Structure 1
Amino acid sequence: MGDIDGQPCRLTVCRGCCCGTKKKVPGVDHKAQLARLSAIDDHAGRTVPVRTSKCLGICFQANVVVVQPSRAGRTAGAGPVWLGEMTEDRLLDALDDWIFAGGPGLAPLPEVLADHVTSKNAKKPKKRKKPKKAKAAKKERKKAKERKAEKASRPSKKKDGDKRKKREKKKRKK
């Protein structure tokens, strides 16, 4: 069976609670993006089937697209390729070109997509903790600020002394 007779690449596009929403990914026309993905053709002139999923489980990587290899790609040993943060037109262009060239197993992954490869088991990166020294320095700055505010709120002895001298001087003139 030739490559044309085999099954083309397929796409699964996440459009659940986070992917495909303006709240999670503002500034992206999600409907247009889905329409564009649905219009991708492979090298044999076949439209690549696209299905949407409610949630693929790695919401911090929104928008997520999974590229299933064609039958020939699977025969070559390729598995699904998970792509995260697919929010820019240049990424969709690269995806379109890659699938047209054969997709997983038949064509190398474009460089522009390399940083977007993820997996269904991806873990959300933890926030970096500040070193203890930084926390101690922050506390010290806060204490210094409080001391300065306290000092500013106290009446100055120097000012009081100056006022007293002026009063005494006025009394002497009289």
Structure 2
Amino acid sequence: MGRGSVGTGSADPVPCRIVVCRDCCCGSPKVTGVDHTVQTARLREAAPVRVSACLDVCDQANVIVVQPSAAGRAAGARPVWLGLVNDPAATEDIAAWVSAGGPGIAPRPEILDLYAFTPPRRRAAS
């Protein structure tokens, strides 16, 4: 497969993407009962995944951000921040939603509303 291909059959030139925080809290032993490697691998089966340093919302660990595809952005979708994703069922719900098209393309499963949050604004670098 070429760069950006995920095997979903999508012809979207810029697919839905996932960012997983894996730094000081997220992806660490501080969040117990989660196999972070398995979680990341499962999400990679659904879409391209970027592992990020701290996203500055440690109280929401494990944080996953679902970024819309180009088509989703064209439909007005914005990134969806999901926190406290510490359950394999939640990971499966995210993977299924992303596989169906994600933000702006497929309706977000209601169960994921329990995980969605608005991140605080980041200060601009001076």
Question: How big is each residue's C-alpha offset from its partner over 1:38-96, in whole Å with a ceiling of 9 and x where there is no partner?
Answer: 121xxxxxxx2111111001001000000010000000000100000111111111111
Structure 1, unaligned stretches of length 5 or more? 41-47, 123-174
2:5 maps to 1:6? no
Question: How big is each residue's C-alpha offset from its partner over 1:75-126, in whole Å with a ceiling of 9 and x where there is no partner?
Answer: 000010000011111111111111111110011110110010012218xxxx
Aligned-pair Cα RMSD in Å: 1.4
2:113 aligned residue:
114
Structure number with larger C-alpha Rg: 1
2:32 maps to 1:33? no
SS in 1 for 2:65: strand
SS in 2 for 1:98: helix
1:97 aligned residue:
96
Paired-residue identity, %: 53
SS in 2 for 1:66: strand
The code of the aligned residue for 1:61 comes to Q
SS in 2 for 1:86: coil
Distance 1:6 1:62, change over 3 A: same
Runs of 4+ in 1 over 6 A off after TM superposition: none
1:67 aligned residue:
66
The code of the aligned residue for 1:37 comes to L
Distance 1:114 1:97 in 2: 15
SS in 1 for 2:50: strand
Q: CA deviation at 1:6?
A: 2.3
SS in 1 for 2:98: helix
- TM-score by length of structure 1 reads 0.61
The code of the aligned residue for 1:13 comes to V
How many residues align? The count is 112
Kept in 1: contact 2:12–2:71 (CA 8 A): no
SS in 2 for 1:12: strand
- TM-score by length of structure 2 reads 0.84
Structure 2, unaligned stretches of length 5 or more? 1-9, 122-126
SS in 2 for 1:36: helix
